[in-house]
Amino acid sequence: MTAIDEQGTSLWQDAWIKLSKNYLALFGLAIIGLLCVVSLLTPWIAPYGYEQQNLLLGATSPSAEHWLGTDIFGRDMLTRIMYGGRVSLTVGFIATAVALVIGVLWGAVAGFVGGRIDAVMMRIVDIMYALPFMIFIVLLMVVFGRNILLLFLAIGAVEWLTMARIVRGQVMALRKQEFIEAAHSLGLSQWTIIRRHIIPNTLGPVIVYTTLTIPSVMLLEAFLSFLGLGIQPPQSSWGLLINYGVETMEEYPWLLIFPGVTLSLTLFALNFLGDGLRDALDPRTSKD
């Protein structure tokens, strides 16, 4: 029995070992990583400026100068997709993070405490569901002005509702388990039980739902921008590019295809990574 045996590995080390054997998840991670790096470096590596127009050129199909073609104003599509990625990825990750934190805490507390508090908390969720979220966001925008940070918060504030419901369901099932009762009998405080015993055991569905939320948030941003509540041209985001691409789909298909492919690729990558993470973080799956 060596010391190494006894030390073993932590949950996250374990998770990494398992993840590194899951090629699909690694592929997803690589794509996400690449997109993030490109987005960060865009101002320096983009072939053109994002508002640089060439009206004489108009919409051209992919060529040596413009790898992914140009839009009707003669703006380089590659550049616009790169700049769009900055907005879309930030919205996707930050709004989802907001939804994740609020949703998990809200759901965990409601499900764990139960009784009246649960009833009140979930009725609040129901009321928020019932509010047409467009009105909600428009109100926010009107009151606080149009601001990209507010956009993240507004989207996050809508998306956490489903997360809270999912987590609450999980927690209610977990709460009845004997290991939670064992934790009570050890005298652990409610908050410690939620933090150490409840939340880690809800990770599986939470991770999967998170990877599904990111793309839906990106599309929501596009929708808001389309209504004039989010990003405005000449700035771009993937959602916005796709929206404009749809309008000119018949004449200039590449304006839809390239942003669409980028978004789909991100979606696939996130799903692969999410599935991989879920398996990797579950100690019940084997390391081999």
Partner 1 sequence: MALLEVNGLKVYFHTRNGVVKAVDDVSFTVDRGETLAIVGESGSGKSVTCYSLLDLLPKPPAKIEGGTALFDGEDLLRCDAKRMRHYRGNDIAVIFQDPMTSLNPYISIGEQLIEPLIYHPDIERKQSREDARARAIELLDEVGIINPQARFDCYPHEFSGGMRQRVMIAMALINEPRLLICDEPTTALDVTIQAQILELIKKLQQTRDVAVIFVSHDLGVVAGIADKVLVMCEGTIREAGSTDSIFYNSQNDYTKKLLNAIPEGAKTLPSRLQPDNLLVEVTNLKTHFTAHSKAGRQNKVIKAVNGVSLEIQRGEILGLVGESGSGKSTLGRSILQLAPTTAGQVSFSGNPLTGLGTQQMVPWRRKMQMIFQDPYASLNPRMTVYQTLAEPLLYHGLANSKTIDQQIRQLMDDVGLAHGQMRKYPHEFSGGQRQRIAIGRAIATKPELIIADEPVSALDVTIQAQILDLILNLVERHNLTMLFISHDLSVVRCISDRVVVMNKGVIVEQGDTEALWRNPQQAYTQQLLKAIPIADPRLERSRLSGL
Q: Which of 61, 63, 147, 190 binds partner 1 (CB under 8 A)?
A: 190
Residue 95's identity, in one-letter code, is A
Do 148 and 84 meet the contact criterion of CB atoms below 8 Å apart? no
* Positive or negative torsion for Cα 12, 15, 20, 24: negative
188 sits near partner 1 (criterion: CB under 8 A): yes
186 sits near partner 1 (criterion: CB under 8 A): yes
232 sits near partner 1 (criterion: CB under 8 A): no
Do 218 and 239 meet the contact criterion of CB atoms below 8 Å apart? yes
21 sits near partner 1 (criterion: CB under 8 A): no
192 sits near partner 1 (criterion: CB under 8 A): yes
Give min distance, CB of 4 to partner 1, in A.
10
CB neighbour burial string for 167-179, b if at least 16 within 10 angstroms, e if fewer:
bbebbeebbeeee
Give min distance, CB of 126 to partner 1, in A.
19
Stretch that binds partner 1, among 26-34, 123-131, 173-181, 207-215 (CB under 8 A): 173-181
Based on CB atoms, which residue is closest to partner 1, 68 or 109? 109
How is residue 231 written in tokens? 């990003």
Q: Which of 20, 61, 177, 264 binds partner 1 (CB under 8 A)?
A: 177
Instruction: Report how far apart, in Å, the C-alpha atoms of 15 and of each of 20, 32, 137, 138 are.
Output: 8, 18, 38, 42
Phi, psi of 251 (to 5 degrees): -80, -45
How is residue 156 written in tokens? 């996050």
Binding residues (CB under 8 A) for partner 1: these are 1, 5-9, 11, 177-179, 181-190, 192, 196-197, 200-201, 203, 283-284, 286, 288
